[in-house]
Structure formats: C-alpha cells, structure tokens
Amino acid sequence: MAGSVAYERKGRIALIRVMNPPVNALSQAVRAGLDDAMEQFAEDDDAAAAVILGDGRSFIAGADLSEFGKPPQRPYLPDVINRIEAADKPVIAVIHGTALGGGLEVALGAHYRVALEGASVGLPEVTLGVVPGAGGTQRLPRLTGLEPALDIVTSARRVPAAEAAELGIVDALRPASDPAEAGVAFAEELLAAGQGVRRVRELPAPGIDAAMLDAWRDKVAARAGGQIAPVTAIDAVAACALPFTDGLAEERRLFEHLRESPQRDALVHAFFAERKVARLPELEDVAARALGHVGVIGGGTMGAGIAVAALLAGLEVTLIERDGEAAEAAAASIGRTLEGSVQRGKLSAGARDEILTERLRALSDYDALARADLVIEAVFESMEVKQEVFARLDTVCRPGAVLATNTSYLDVGAIAATTSRPADVIGLHFFSPAHVMKLVEVVVPEGADPQAVATGFALAAKMRKIAVRSGVCDGFIGNRILSAYRAAADHMVLDGASPFEIDRAVVNFGFPMGPYAMSDLAGLDIGYMTRQRKAATRDARERVPVHADRLYELGRLGRKTGRGYYIYDDETPKGRPDPELDTLLADIRAELGITPRSFPGDEIRKRYIGAMVNEAARVVGEGVARRPLDVDVVLLHGYGFPRWRGGPMKHADQIGLYHILADIRALAQEDDFFWEPAPLLADLVARGADFDSLN
Ligand code: COA
Ligand code: NAD
C-alpha cells in the first residue's frame, strides 16, 4: 500500500517497513504509520526488538517536500522520533540506499543503526532552505562530536557508509543484502548478547568551543553568499549544549522560522523545477532512439568538452576536426581534461586509459560517422560553415541518426532545412565548460520528430545533465534573456554607472560574478562578433554599447589579453578595476552627448532584474520556454542566478509582479523602446495572477 507503513513479525523481531515509493518520503501517512507501528510494537509482547527499514531502493529520503508551504499536519516528525527513541525494547534502523534529512533523523532516533554497503547518510536540509527540524542537530553531535556534525549539517554532503561507521553515526556495516534479513540477523545478535535500549539523547553532548563556532560561522557565511540556512544551522548544532529537550525546542524554533522563509520557498521550487523540466507532455510516450555512439564535429572549447561529457557517460565518441593535426590537438585536449579528473581522484587511471584507447577516435574523415547514433556539431559560429557541415553529415550519417547543433544563436530551423531529413535535426546547446556545466538547452525547431527530441533529452540524462526544452529564437531561452539584462547594464554604463559598481551590485544580489567580470572571462571578442552579426538587422532605437566596441578595438579582450574592464597581472590574477576606464567612459559619454548620472545599488538591481524578468516573460509568452520554471532552471544552471532566490520568475513572484511591472512602466518613461512591458507580464498583473500559475 502506498504511503504507509507495514508491521509484521519474523519470529521475535518486529519489522516496521516504510512503503512510500519512490523514495519513502516522510509524508503525513508515513509519520502516522510509524507512530501506529511503534504503538503496536509496544503492545506486542512477542516482539523483543524492532527493525525499521525502507521498502524499494532506499531507506527514507527525508521530509515530503511537497508538504512544505502547506499547514503542518500531525503527527509531527519530532514527536514520532521521540516515540521511537522512548521504546523500552531495542529498535534498529537498517539503512540501504540513502537516509537523508528526516530519514537520518528517524535512524538517529533508533537505538542502533546498521548500514548496508553502498548506503549513504546526510542532512541536506540547508540546500532546501531549512535546518534539520527533528533532532538531527541535537543527536548527531552526541555521536560524532561537534566538528563533524557542523561539517555534515552545513555542507549537506552525503556521507558514505564506511565514513558514517568511522564517525560513529552507524554501529555496523553489513554487505549489501536484503535489509529485512540483515536487520533480523543484527537484532538476534543484539538480543543474544543481552544488549538493550541505548538512547542517543542520553549520551553526553560535546563541549562547545565558542572560538571554534565563530570560525565556522565565518567560513560558512563566506561560502553561503546570502543564504541564511547554512549559518543558522551552526546555531542549531550549538544548541546541543542545552539540556536535550531545550536543544530540541531551539532546533525546532529555528526550523520553523526558516520553513516560512522566502529562501525555503525558492529552494524547494528549484528542487521540483529541476525535475519537472524534462517532463513534457508531448514526450510522455515517446521512446528515445538507441544511443551508444556519438559523433562530435569540431574539437575546440565546446567540442572537446562535449566529447568528455559523452565519454564519461559511457558512450563511444568519434570526433571530427578539419585535418589530422587539429584532430590530434583535440584528442590531446580531451586527454588533458581526463588527466585532470584522474589527478582530482574523480576517475581511475584505468578508466581513463580505457576511454582513450577503446572509446575515443579523433580524425578528419567524416565517413567514420556512418555508425553514429547522434552527432553534435560544434564548429565556428557561422551559418555558412554549419550548413556545409550539415550537408556532409546528411550524406554520411545513417537514416535515423539524430543531427544536433551546439549553436549559441543561429536558426536551428535554417540549419535543418539544408538537410534531406530536417525532422531529425535539433539543437543541443551546451554551456562552457561542457563537461562541467549541468545545463543543456534542447532546441526544437518546427517539425522536429519527437523521437529525435526525446533522444536529445536521453543524451542529457546519460550525461547527468539537466535538459530544458527551448523553441527557436535568437539566443534561445538563456542567451536571449542574457542579451536583455546585459543591455540594461550597458545602458547604465553609457548613462554614468561604473562597470565595477554594476558588478558589485550583481554580486551582492547573489550572482557569482557580474556582467563585466564575465565579459572579461569569456573574451570581449565574443560579444563584439555577436553585435557585428546582428548589426544589419538592429533596430535604430537600440542603443549600441560603444564602450564595449571601443575596448575591443583597443585590443582589450579581457583575461586573455590581461586587460578588459579589469587588469589581470601577477599581482591581481583575478583582476582589479582599471582606473583608466573612467577616462575612457567619460570620453565616450561626452562624444554621445550624455550627462552622466549615478546609479545606486538598488537602482542597478531594479534595472538588471527588471530587464531579465521582462524578457523572460516574453520568452514564455511566445512559447520559446514552455513554462516559467523552464526559465528559472536555465538561469540557475547556465547563468549563475542565485539558487536561494529560485530563479528570476520565482523571484519576481516573491517581489510581486505588480511591483516589477510598475518599475518597468516607470523606466519606459525614459526609454519606451527598451522598457516596453512584456504582454504576458501585463496580462498576469491585470488578472492578479503570478508566473507560478503557469507552471
Ligand atoms: N519529498 C517529495 N518528493 C521527493 C523527495 C522528497 N523528499 N525526494 C525525491 N522526491 C521525488 C522527486 O520529486 C521525484 O519525483 P518525480 O519522479 O515525480 O519527478 C522522485 O521522488 C525521484 O526523485 P529523483 O531525485 O528523481 O531520484 P534520484 O534517485 O535521482 O534521487 C534522492 C533520490 C532521494 C537522492 C533525491 O531525490 C533527493 O536528494 N531528494 C531530496 C532529499 C532531501 O533533501 N531530503 C531532506 C528533506 S528536508
Ligand atoms: P572553437 O573555435 O573553440 O572551436 C571550433 C572548432 O571547430 C575548431 O577547433 C575548428 O578547427 C573546428 N572546425 C571548424 N570548421 C570545421 C569543420 N568544417 N569540420 C570540423 N571541424 C571544424 O569554438 P567553440 O567555442 O568551441 O564554439 C563552437 C560552437 O559552440 C559555436 O557554434 C559556438 O557558438 C557554440 N557555443 C560556444 C560556447 C562557448 O562558451 N564557447 C557555448 C555554447 C555554445
């Protein structure tokens, strides 16, 4: 029965089995079921010990996140766990798969914990904007000591079974086997040895070292970048110095406070949005095509990265470059990246050798692609070159092979149209570095075969990436929205703001980097080339970022030339503002007849985020993105939008669309072309609705 807990007995051992697929989340029904089972156990005179275990692929993955934001329902988890702990006959938790969050808290309420090989435990609550709220921060330090508990709670990391045993979180490690059998065997051993109940709450709390806590606060705050929960988690763990029930109450108070916070709302939104992006109604019953052998055309920055991602996903890769020398260079670049993984302990030397000798071929002969199931083109960003490549692919690839382009901006439909099989052509837009960044936009031109699209999603899943469907437009979802908020930043620079102030305001908002530091990293030539390409079709009312063109013309291309907006040298490898820029900008403003004015941080933020949300509303309104949540996932995973704000659409909902629209309308007074409100935004405000109503 779904959502419930079964009680049965194997001899004198009671088995309390949680059955709530797929991950045994602690829904109200599960909490009530555990409560009932503990009552039954107490009354069952023939049961000498109880084993709590999870049905299916794992123990318990924690609180049911879909219940967050709704009124809490009894029984509450802390009470259920206290009841488990209070049992006067031994209770054993058998952990297989994962015991996360409330799942680990349940296990900590048991008197003994057994982990099966392959299991891991953790308290990931801070990634969801809360702290453990059912005793995790109080019981864990009593088992591990203070620092390991602080580490586990603030980092949210998964602790493998062996380490959990070393830290004293679990009492025994057993080979992977049936959890019920392992639990019964352990319980019988305990009883035979005359071992009784052993409550974690009765163990002494570790001593608190105030200086050490302060050091942790500094370290975690620096890493958290505006997120509250990881820092609050330190206070929760520190409360273990109080008498146990007072510590529990303090932990619960902190948990409940965070549960109502916008950050928790945003982070849970991000969690579900990431899982919903790949669920598209039109693909529900569509099978992906076979996928074992991938072709990659071009072995530059993107091609080599994509090849690494495919190789690490277990695929065979044939990479095609322009000539033998370029092919060798590409293979060497792939080898270096894999070597880096070996050095960092992420890949064994044996696995690296197998990849390079058995599964990678880099050559210049397109005929080698005859067996490929899917080919990703990553050559120069030129329609002419790409169309040439696709014409070649059309002649060499077998029927049914999916042909994909990694273009950033070009019309995927126009590329498809040059082949005799346009329905098999899609865009697969990876982000740099492609073997690291999790986002892929699956670009679907009109008339694409759903199977080809499903195969694009399947490739992303194999690579453990997050795929988001995008329609065709200039820049697709992400780069199109980026162009809009970049333009808003450039307008401010033209009108008097310093690029450094803008970067600072954007970093203060929670992005890892501002737009000008980003330009320097990517290279100012990229934006310049894009502007050149669009120049012929540019609307006369569009403002040109003269400063960016000027820097390009001065050969200041960013990090690669040591100078862009910032100066990069041995002294400041990460860059320092260049004072000469002030003069350069002052000259440009004078040339353009602009009287400079200042932009305070909140004004910068209003314009940057306003432009982002307005363009995103257009992207959704036009159907380029299916839902606002698709935009959120793209900005979170491709552009560094702070996760604890949920993405631009979630953030806009939290601020209130009415306020966003009012700001945009006010800005339209100074530039009614750029700040024209998106029809969808105006419509939602008129209806009193929010973006979430469209998810
Ligand atoms: N509450 C509600 N639903 C949950 C859930 C939870 N705690 N954890 C997972 N799910 C759902 C997912 O939404 C997904 O649903 P879908 O199939 O309808 O999309 C399904 O369970 C499977 O999850 P998924 O993440 O796709 O599976 P996985 O095997 O890759 O990972 C976990 C499993 C448990 C590791 C992962 O889901 C996870 O980290 N969950 C959150 C755990 C957590 O943070 N718990 C603490 C809560 S305070
Ligand atoms: P790059 O210049 O680093 O690499 C392009 C490679 O393609 C070169 O090695 C070149 O030798 C090869 N090539 C050119 N013509 C070829 C042909 N006919 N046959 C085989 N190989 C050929 O460029 P990049 O940055 O890797 O970009 C590639 C594509 O990916 C572009 O369309 C770009 O817009 C897109 N893209 C780039 C990024 C990024 O951040 N760099 C991100 C997403 C998408």
pLDDT, tens digit (0-9, with 9 covering 90-100), for 561-593:
999 999 999 999 999 999 999 999 999 999 999
Contact 575, 556 (CB under 8 A): no
Task: Given CATH 3.30.460.10, say whether it is the number of domain 5-260.
Answer: no
DSSP 122-184: E-GGGGGT----SSHHHHHHHHH-HHHHHHHHHH-PPEEHHHHHHTTSSSEEE-S--HHHHHH
Give the three-class secondary structure for 418: coil
Please name the residue whose Cα sits nearest to atom 28 of ligand 1. Answer: 23
Whether 54 is in the pocket of ligand 2, judged by its Cβ within 6 Å, is no
CA distance 49 to 81: 16
Amino acid at 578: D
β-pair type (316-320, 293-297): parallel
Amino acid 533: pLDDT: 85
Give the largest Cα separation in the chain, rounded.
92
* Residue ranges per structural domain of the chain: 5-260, 291-470, 478-694
296 Cα–ligand 2 center, Å: 10
Question: How many angstroms separate the alpha carbon of residue 185 from the centre of ligand 1?
Answer: 30
Asked whether 359 and 315 are in contact (CB, 8 A), the reply is: yes
Question: Tens digit of pLDDT for each residue in 394-435?
Answer: 999 999 999 999 999 999 999 999 999 999 999 999 999 999
For residue 156, give the ligand 1 atom closest to its CA.
Answer: 44
pLDDT of residue 288: 97
Verify whether ligand 2 is closer than 6 Å to residue 692 (CB atom).
no
Query: Atom of ligand 1 at shortest distance to CA of 58?
Result: 34
* 207 close to ligand 1 (CB < 6 Angstrom): no
Which residue's C-alpha comes closest to atom 36 of ligand 2? 408
For 240-261, write each residue's pLDDT tens digit: 999 999 999 999 999 999 999 9
pLDDT in tens, 661-675: 999 999 999 999 999
Beta bridge partners of 594: none
Q: Which atom of ligand 1 is nearest to the CA of 133?
A: 48
E strands present in 476-541 = none
Nearest to 412 by CA among 460, 403, 458: 403
**Per-residue DSSP letter, 206:** P
What is the rounded distance in angstroms from the CA atom of residue 505 to the CA atom of residue 603?
9
Question: How far, in Å, from the CA of 379 to the mean position of ligand 2?
Answer: 3
Ligand 2 and 382: CB distance under 6 A:
no
| Cα of 61 from ligand 1 centre, angstroms | 7
Which ligand gives the minimal distance to the CA of 324? 2
CA–CA distance, 501 with 330 (Å, rounded to integer): 39
Any ligand 2 atom below 6 A from CB of 298: yes
* 273 C-alpha to ligand 2 centroid (Å): 31
Q: How far is the CA of 122 from the centre of ligand 2 (A)?
A: 41
Torsions phi, psi for 199 (to 5 deg) = -95, 130
Q: Which residue has the tokens 């330190």?
A: 234
Q: 204 Cβ partners below 8 Å, 6+ apart? A: 142
Token pair of 298 as six digits: 């071009």
- Secondary structure (3-state) at 320: strand
Pairing of strands 13-19, 4-10: antiparallel
CB 325 within 8 A of CB 363: no
Nearest CA to ligand 2 atom 3: 300
Which residues carry out catalysis? 63, 102, 105, 125
What is the chain's mean pLDDT, rounded?
96
pLDDT in tens, 190-230: 999 999 999 999 999 999 999 999 999 999 999 998 999 99
Q: Which ligand is nearest to the CA of 277?
A: 1
> Residue 152 and residue 44: Cα distance in Å, rounded?
37
Residue 4: band (very low, low, confident or very high) from pLDDT cuts 50, 70, 90: confident
Ligand 2 centre distance from Cα of residue 195 (Å): 66
pLDDT tens across 438-475, in order?
999 999 999 999 999 999 999 999 999 999 999 999 99
The size of the chain, in residues, is: 695
CA torsion angle 331 333 337 338 (round to 10): 20
> Is any ligand 2 atom within 6 A of the Cβ of residue 406?
yes
Of 623, 645, 622, residue with least CA distance to 632: 645
pLDDT tens digit sequence for 258-298: 999 999 999 999 999 999 999 999 999 999 999 999 999 99
Query: Own/partner pairs for 197-201, CB < 8 Å, 24+ apart?
Result: 197/87, 197/88, 197/89, 197/90, 197/91, 197/111, 198/90, 198/111, 198/112, 199/85, 199/86, 199/111, 200/85, 200/108, 200/109, 200/139, 200/142, 200/143, 201/85, 201/138, 201/139, 201/142, 201/244
Ligand nearest to the CA of 125: 1
**pLDDT tens string 629-651:** 999 999 999 999 999 999 999 99
Ligand 1, atom 26: closest residue by C-alpha: 275
Task: Tell me phi and psi for residue 145, to 5 degrees.
Answer: 90, 170
Q: Is 63 a pocket residue for ligand 1 (Cβ < 6 Å)? A: yes
Whether the CB of 479 sits within 6 Å of ligand 2: no
Instruction: Identify the pLDDT of residue 95.
Output: 98
- Quick one: pLDDT band at residue 69, thresholds 50, 70, 90? confident
Residue 534 has pLDDT above 90, yes or no: no
The DSSP symbol for 368 reads: G
pLDDT in tens, 30-63: 999 999 999 999 999 999 999 999 999 999 999 9
* Percentage above 70 pLDDT, the chain: 100
Nearest 5°: CA angle at 482, between 308 and 486?
A: 125
Query: Dihedral (C-alpha) 251, 254, 255, 258: value to the nearest 10 degrees?
Result: -170
Question: What is the residue with the minimal CA distance to atom 43 of ligand 2?
Answer: 431
Closest ligand relative to 268 C-alpha:
1
Whether 301 is in the pocket of ligand 2, judged by its Cβ within 6 Å, is: yes
User: Is 458 near ligand 1, meaning CB less than 6 Å away?
Assistant: no
State in Å: Cα 270 to ligand 1 middle. Answer: 12
Ligand 1 in reach of 61 Cβ (< 6 A): yes
383 alpha carbon, closest ligand: 2
Element containing residue 468 per DSSP (H, E): strand 466-470
Residue 1 has pLDDT above 50, yes or no: no
> Using a 6 Å cutoff on CB, does residue 101 contact ligand 2?
no
Please name the residues in contact with 8: beta carbons below 8 A apart, sequence gap of 6 or more.
14, 15, 17
Confidence at 2, pLDDT banded by 50, 70, 90: very low
Given the candidates 1.10.510.10, 3.40.50.720, 2.60.40.10, 3.40.630.40, the CATH classification of the domain at 291-470 is 3.40.50.720
Residue 316 in tokens:
């065979």
The first and second tokens of residue 679, run together, are 């029809």
User: Which CATH number, 1.10.3720.10, 3.30.70.270, 1.10.1040.50, 3.30.530.20, labels domain 478-694?
Assistant: 1.10.1040.50
Structure confidence by residue, pLDDT tens digits, 120-154: 999 999 999 999 999 999 999 999 999 999 999 99
SS3 string, 99-133, reads EECHHHHHHHHCCEEEEECCCEEECHHHHHCCCCC
Short-list 101, 277, 219, 152, CA closest to 636: 277
Binning pLDDT at 50, 70 and 90, where does residue 476 land? very high
